[in-house]
Amino acid sequence: MSDELTLSREDVVRLCERVEGAQSRAQAIPKLTDEYPRMTVADGYAVQNELRRRFVAQGQRLVGWKAGLTSKAKMRQMGVDVPSIGFLTDRMACPESSAISVSGLIHPRVECEVAFVTRETLRGPGCTAQDVLAATDHVLPAAEIIDSRFAGFKFDLPSVIADNSSSARFVGGGRARYVEDLDLRTLGVVLEKNGEILGLGASAAVLGHPAEAVAMLVNILAGLGESLPAGSFVMSGGITEAIPVGPGDSVVARFQELGSVSMRFTE
Ligand code: 0L1
Ligand code: MG
């Protein structure tokens, strides 16, 4: 990683408890850099790693990872040239077509993503999109429900990384397909809320090819001293803009070649 740790171990634990508290109480907090303006990306990952350690110690099972901030528009907005990553656990997974309660969330938004399921371990640095495709068992359509723990969805890169890149819930569904049977750059996606089309996109919106985002994720993991194990579920980043949702909303994400993913939101 390009930058240095500035936080002490005590600060990492303190900030992790702050983020964990905001998640469990569903109460927004100010971005962490308001109090720690020198915080770096490396500090953000130190806080995220502590959050992951705690969740696993509490019995959650790590099922995979997500790449965030993968569209050119979001990267420009944040002034970054690499995605952020976040971990996914079994408690964040929601079945296809299920009712998702928003009571544990602050200001949820939904985005459509291509998810990869790997069959071989991937290691960086130097992991490429070709390596990712060769190690992928299948892809499937997915929806991510992001929920920043920061007030007004306002943050900077170190803060959002500490907040597990806004990970909250995810839904996988549709049709699983082998990567060799698809052109993963040109998949079209339509995102509907209550029957109205609110988002349209093509998978090339994700760094030109979603496998590029997974390769970057693997290289970021390498910087953290970790690899991506076989059998991981990896969400490659939002193709459409994230749309806000609330109780009573029904959402369907329709993917060309991959079928659809749906969910509804309740109190
Ligand atoms: O999955 C995402 O692209 C979200 C990454 C974090 C930034 C945000 O909450 O918009
Ligand atoms: Mg996402």
82-114 pLDDT, tens digit per residue, is: 889 999 999 999 999 999 999 999 999 999 999
Mean pLDDT value across the chain? 95
Nearest ligand, CA 143: 2
pLDDT in tens, 5-26: 999 999 999 999 999 999 999 9
Q: For the whole prediction, is pTM greater than 0.75? A: yes
| Gap from CA of 235 to ligand 1 centroid (Å) | 12
78 versus 156: the higher-pLDDT residue is 156
* Domains of the chain: residue spans and CATH: 61-266 (3.90.850.10)
**For residue 164, what pLDDT is reported?**
98
Residue nearest to ligand 1 atom 9, measured at CA: 166
198: which 2 tokens?
Answer: 């609110």
**Ligand 1: which residues within 6 Å by Cβ?**
66, 68-69, 84, 144, 146, 148, 160, 165-166, 237-238
* 3 state DSSP class of 69: coil
Share of the chain above pLDDT 70, in %: 99
Atom number of ligand 1 nearest to Cα 111: 1
| Gap from CA of 250 to ligand 1 centroid (Å) | 21
On the CB side of 122, how many CA atoms lie within 13 Å of its CA?
32
Residue 56 to residue 49: CA distance in whole angstroms = 11
Residue 91 to residue 134: CA distance in whole angstroms = 29
pLDDT in tens, 194-243: 999 999 999 999 999 999 999 999 999 999 999 999 999 999 999 998 99
Q: Are 168 and 145 in contact (CB under 8 A)?
A: yes
| Gap from CA of 235 to ligand 2 centroid (Å) | 7
**For residue 76, what pLDDT is reported?**
77
Atom number of ligand 1 nearest to Cα 235: 1
180 versus 78: the higher-pLDDT residue is 180
**Mean pLDDT on 123-141:** 98
| Gap from CA of 142 to ligand 2 centroid (Å) | 10
**For residue 72, what pLDDT is reported?**
78
**Mean pLDDT on 173-179:** 94
